[in-house]
Amino acid sequence: MDISVVIPLLNEEESIKELYDWIAKVMLSNHFSYEVIYVDDGSSDDSFEVLKELSKKHQEVKIIKFRTNHGKSQALNAAFKVTKGDVVITMDADLQDSPDEIPELYKMIKEENMHLISGWKKKRYDPITKTVPTKLFNWAARKTSGVYLHDFNCGLKAYDHKVVKNIDVYGEMHRYIPILAKSAGFNKIDEKIVEHQARKYGTTKFGIERFLNGFLDLISIWFVSKFGKRPMHFFGAWGVFMFIIGFGAAGYLGIMKLYYLSQHLPTILVTDNPWFYISLSMMLIGTQLFLTGFVGEMIVQVKNTAPRYHIDETVNL
């Protein structure tokens, strides 16, 4: 199969059929073999009913339905596990991503031997309250990760099938899939300017909290990509450093106490010296950090692979 199109959605009943017809037109005109995998992320409207009717008419339509809302990352992760296409295309269901971009994205993956192509919505039809924070996110992501893309959060992306089978998208890390791919060893990453459509139906499903979550996720993914496979190198190193400083300070206080006693000089109890408690605290914190690194190493060795979502129903899979 040439292409798997993955579309996570939440309450997008108005746009589902129109988007599929658009995708099918592009696929047929380019003679692609394809599948379209919709992930209903706990919709409360009639999205799933529309999808079931669509699947009865078109065998290319496949559906994963979550019992409750788990978020875009979990939806993508579930779909990635069942894709069969040589190239995987992700796009949003709100008609803001154009299926007309698919042939060129496919060509860039197959003919240029790229691992991942990320869309760049250079001209956006979003309010300034969304575009300004997005630019800030993209700048921070570039500086932190070393992946130089203009638009990390663009839903329209193309992947070589090996990429989606070797990354685990969790939490709200869908914004930073290129960074996850790079961490997994897929370094051939580029971008393509894509057309951004104005929203035709409904309203955005993302609130102001996504900006705070984005920064927290960026810090998390930076740490995981740098120390995720060797947590002892971070926690253990800082733990040993703090313990040595604390132990050295406590030893210095003890030596000075003995010196003053040997010289019959006036002195105070070690426990009356505030530096004793500072050094003791440093030793305790150092020990805790070291143990944290040790526990982290064990967790890495025994990674929990249980699914983080609950699939309620599938169709055609």
How many whole angstroms separate alpha carbon 110 and alpha carbon 68? 36
At the top level of CATH, the class of 3-227 is: alpha beta
* pLDDT tens digit sequence for 248-294: 999 999 899 888 888 888 888 888 888 889 999 999 999 999 998 88
* pLDDT tens digit sequence for 200-226: 676 665 555 666 666 776 777 667 667
How many whole angstroms separate alpha carbon 104 and alpha carbon 282? 57
pTM across the whole model:
0.72
* pLDDT tens digit sequence for 122-159: 876 666 666 677 777 778 778 777 888 988 888 999 99
- The whole-number pLDDT of residue 314 equals 81
Tokens describing residue 268: 């105070």
How many whole angstroms separate alpha carbon 16 and alpha carbon 54? 9
Q: Categorize the per-residue pLDDT at 310 as very low, low, confident or very high, splitting at 50, 70 and 90.
A: low
How many whole angstroms separate alpha carbon 130 and alpha carbon 82? 33
User: Is pLDDT above 90 for 309?
Assistant: no
Q: What does pLDDT average to over the chain?
A: 86
Number of H helices, E strands in the chain: 10, 8
* pLDDT tens digit sequence for 71-91: 899 999 999 999 999 999 999
Question: Of 105, 38, 96, which is closest to residue 314 (Cα–Cα)?
Answer: 38
Phi, psi of 277 (to 5 degrees): -75, -30
pLDDT more than 90, % of the chain: 52
User: Is pLDDT above 90 for 243?
Assistant: yes
Count of residues making up the chain: 317
